[in-house]
Amino acid sequence: MKKFTLLAALLLPIAALAQGTWPEKAITFVVPFPPGGPTDLMARLIATPLSKRLNVPVVVDNKAGASGNIGTMQVVRAKPDGYTILLAASGNLSANQYLYKRLGFDPVKDLAPIVQISKFPLVLEVSETSPIKSFQDYVAYAKKPENRVTFASAGNGTPQHLGAELFKANAKVDITHIPYKGAGPAIVDLMGGQVTSMFDILGSSMQHIKTNKLRALAVTTKNRSEQLPNVPSISELGYPNFEYYAWHGISTTAGTPKPVIDRLNAEIRGIFQDSAFRAQWQEIGSEVVLGTPEQFGEFTRSEARKMETLIKSLNIQLD
């Protein structure tokens, strides 16, 4: 009788899924970065319509620290039932495993992909009050030994840091990294002239570019951004092999039943079918990128291989 009771208890969640009763309680949507940045904004944009579609609360929970590792670990350690999901970024899914010796989790083995949601160019920018008016000015200024050119980032190992280091290696310029605790304070100091430049994710700088507080010099994707069609790409300005971008997706704990993952994938993709939502999404500077969980998993593995090559070539280690 005890064996039968135990078996019934184990099969109950599967039976509930088969009957379509999932979800039955609130979902925690972990953002592994501080409030106010592009990752947080994306989670909050998705949380409201996802809550309506699933008919349960979707609560955004900011767990910042260690370049996204702390929040990611919270999801890794959660019950594999789909009630804890992660707004994952290119750092915590692909780069951090090569930046940190003691990461504490394997992003491939310990997380289950749900769907990719974004692809962001980085934008090389300076303050609107800067004497640097163009990309060519920036390179020429940086190559003069008497000039100390700095670049801000949202922290060591973030896309802002890695993108600038890749450019530094390609252009052979001496620019000094100034890490901050998040993109917000970095942008404040950039606008105030405390740092020379920043290779920022377009989503967090778009509003400041539109209001002429920051001057966009170039974007880091192969082609120009639809949101900044008058801003050239670094690729077209003499560095044809240069390309770097940030991306985001949604993952959950490994071992989560496939019907739950498929349901989340379908509902999130459904959100993006709304034209008003898509317009709002593109307003933050992101391309809309969707697909199956399997496609997101393969993309993540491919990006991890690229990051391994880049980080080892730049000899960057954070611990």
**Can you say how many angstroms the Cα of residue 3 is from the centroid of all Cα atoms in its chain?**
46
Residue 201's closest CA among 211, 180, 187, 191? Answer: 187
Task: Report how far residue 229's alpha carbon sits from residue 225's, in angstroms, rounded to the nearest whole number.
Answer: 6
The Cα angle at residue 228 between residues 134 and 307, in degrees rounded to 5: 85
Phi, psi dihedral angles at 241 (to 5 degrees): -95, 0
Among 95-99, 207-211, 292-296, the range with the most confident prediction by mean pLDDT is 292-296
At 288, the pLDDT band (50, 70, 90 cuts) reads confident
Q: Three-state secondary structure along 170-200?
A: HHCCCEEEEECCCHHHHHHHHHHCCCCEEEE
What are the residue ranges of helices labelled H in the chain? Answer: 2-18, 38-54, 69-76, 90, 96-99, 135-142, 159-171, 183-192, 202-210, 258-271, 275-283, 293-314
Q: 119: which DSSP letter?
A: E
Task: Report how far residue 288's alpha carbon sits from residue 290's, in angstroms, rounded to the nearest whole number.
Answer: 7
How do 27-31 and 84-89 pair as beta strands? parallel
Does the global pTM surpass 0.75?
yes
Task: Report how far residue 190's alpha carbon sits from residue 213's, in angstroms, rounded to the nearest whole number.
Answer: 10
pLDDT value, residue 213: 97
At 66, the pLDDT band (50, 70, 90 cuts) reads confident
pLDDT value, residue 72: 96
Per the structure block, which two tokens stand in for 287? 């391309």
> In CATH, what is the architecture of 121-237?
3-Layer(aba) Sandwich (3.40)
At 33, the pLDDT band (50, 70, 90 cuts) reads confident
State what percent of residues in the chain have pLDDT above 70.
93
- CA dihedral sign of residues 67, 205, 37, 278: negative
CATH of domain 25-120+246-314: 3.40.190.150
Where does the chain hold its CATH 3.40.190.150 domain(s)? 25-120+246-314
Average pLDDT over residues 306-310: 90
Where does the chain hold its CATH 3.40.190.10 domain(s)? 121-237
Task: Report how far residue 274's alpha carbon sits from residue 52's, in angstroms, rounded to the nearest whole number.
Answer: 14
Q: Is the confidence at residue 202, as pLDDT, over 60?
A: yes
Per the structure block, which two tokens stand in for 244? 């770097």
Q: Give the chain's mean pLDDT.
A: 90
